[in-house]
Amino acid sequence: MSSDLTPLLEPLKLGPSLMKNRIIMGPLTRSRAVPTNVPNDVMLEYYVQRAKGGAGLIISEGTLITQQGQVTEWENAPGIWNQQHIDGWKKITEAVHREGAVMFCQLWHVGRLSHPDAPEQKASGNPVYGPSAIAARGYPGKFRFLHGKPGYVTPTAIEDPKDLVELYRQGAINAKAAGFDGVELHGAHGYLIHQFLDSTSNKRTDSYGGSIENRARFGLEALTAAVDVWGPGRVAIKMSPTGGGNDMGMPLKETLETFTHFIQQADKLNLAYFCLLRYIEFFDVKIDGAWRATVHDVLSTYRPFINSAALLVSGDVSPEEGASLVASGQVDAAIFGRPWICQPDVGKRIAHGIALESKIDMKHLYLQHLDGSDAVDEVIRRGYTDYPAATYT
């Protein structure tokens, strides 16, 4: 690494929290919360490794705010809907804080992207919910852990969205009890907030559908509920305006108008930050032979409308590019995702000018079915906590 990376090494005030640098570990679903979605000691080891590895801010993997709303492709994602989850996460946040990192909890509801046969979805006794009774397209065999590897189902339209807003409020309450420094609402990748915002998945005729203002209402109410719990500077949102994955995307003009309105209104809530995921092909999908995304430059488009919160960028950002974006004032910090999977010390490597690895153990990226042939802890750690840190001189 020959570029000047010092802009990434400067501290950043994020609401009341002080990040020691601008190197962020993005949310990475790894499916190690066994059994029953409870954070465990192996997850504790994983997050502590990365806090020691120089992360200024760690954003937790997507954390489910309700038993209803589980996505089966990651059947062992952690939750934040009961006391066991709170207790499990509290061990992690306390340990991460001891290593000098800030930690936000990403609050997650997958909406129509669940399946009625998902174990936790079934146990909840509730149907798969979405803004409208419209199934997502693409990804045949999405639910690979279910018999027959089924695809998406048509969801039951949510009767009263305010009931779902209250799930985000309770998730925020629980995350606060678990010792996080704040919460990030997952409003990207075609999950529930994104489903309400996008006119292709939201055909409601009440006050939560139709106009841009109505489609933005659900996400803004969920953010407001979280701010009511946490106060200013402690709540954030992740957004993917280009769409693509999970059958998201509107025509360009409608996309620009919709996300501009949402961001302008959300910026009035004194958030900690906006995370904007820019277009990368990795998150796109082809449907009927055409790419689904609405490609545009999210930083130049939406940066002018973010004035009271920090702006973080995600999506295949290199250390050199991240430092340049921070130095030019286009963003306040850079999020690194996949690099944190295959090395626990991304922050320290950047600080020491060591090139980042890209060799991910894809076979063990997510937890495979536990068949009892190996010790559970050994299986969980494989491709998770067994990546070595670099040697520093």
Residue 392 in domain: no
pLDDT tens-digit map of 181-211: 999 999 999 999 999 999 999 999 999 999 9
Q: Domain residues for 302?
A: 5-381
Q: What pLDDT is stored for residue 56 in this prediction?
A: 98
Residue 249 in domain: yes
Residue 170 in domain: yes
Residue 232 in domain: yes
Any idea of the CA torsion for 9, 12, 14, 18, to the nearest 10 degrees? 90
pLDDT mean over 214-219: 99
Q: What pLDDT is stored for residue 90 in this prediction?
A: 98
Q: What pLDDT is stored for residue 378 in this prediction?
A: 82
Catalytic residues: 191
Q: What pLDDT is stored for residue 80 in this prediction?
A: 98
AA identity, residue 221:
E
User: 232: pLDDT confidence band, cut at 50, 70 and 90?
Assistant: very high
pLDDT mean over 92-109: 98
Q: What pLDDT is stored for residue 379 in this prediction?
A: 85
pLDDT tens-digit map of 42-98: 999 999 999 999 999 999 999 999 998 877 677 889 999 999 999 999 999 999 999
Is 300's pLDDT higher than 90? yes
Residue 389 in domain: no
User: 1: pLDDT confidence band, cut at 50, 70 and 90?
Assistant: very low
Which residue, 220, 221, 217, 215, is CA-closest to 199?
215
Q: What pLDDT is stored for residue 369 in this prediction?
A: 59
Any idea of the CA torsion for 157, 163, 165, 170, to the nearest 10 degrees? -130
pLDDT mean over 121-143: 90
Q: What pLDDT is stored for residue 74 in this prediction?
A: 78
**For the chain, what is the mean pLDDT?**
94
User: 252: pLDDT confidence band, cut at 50, 70 and 90?
Assistant: very high
Q: What pLDDT is stored for residue 72 in this prediction?
A: 64
DSSP β-ladder status, 273-277 and 310-314: parallel
Residue 387 in domain: no
What is the percent of the chain where pLDDT is above 90? 85
Distance of CA 302 to the CA centre of its chain: 19
Residue 75 in domain: yes
What is the percent of the chain where pLDDT is above 70? 97
pLDDT tens-digit map of 302-314: 999 999 999 999 9
Is 147's pLDDT higher than 90? no
* Domain of residue 67, CATH code: 3.20.20.70
Higher pLDDT, 346 or 377: 346
Q: What pLDDT is stored for residue 211 in this prediction?
A: 98
Q: What pLDDT is stored for residue 375 in this prediction?
A: 62
Q: How many alpha carbons lie under 13 Å from residue 136 in its C-beta half-sphere?
A: 35
Q: What pLDDT is stored for residue 276 in this prediction?
A: 98
Count up the domains in the chain and report the number: 1
Q: What pLDDT is stored for residue 374 in this prediction?
A: 53
Residue 393 in domain: no
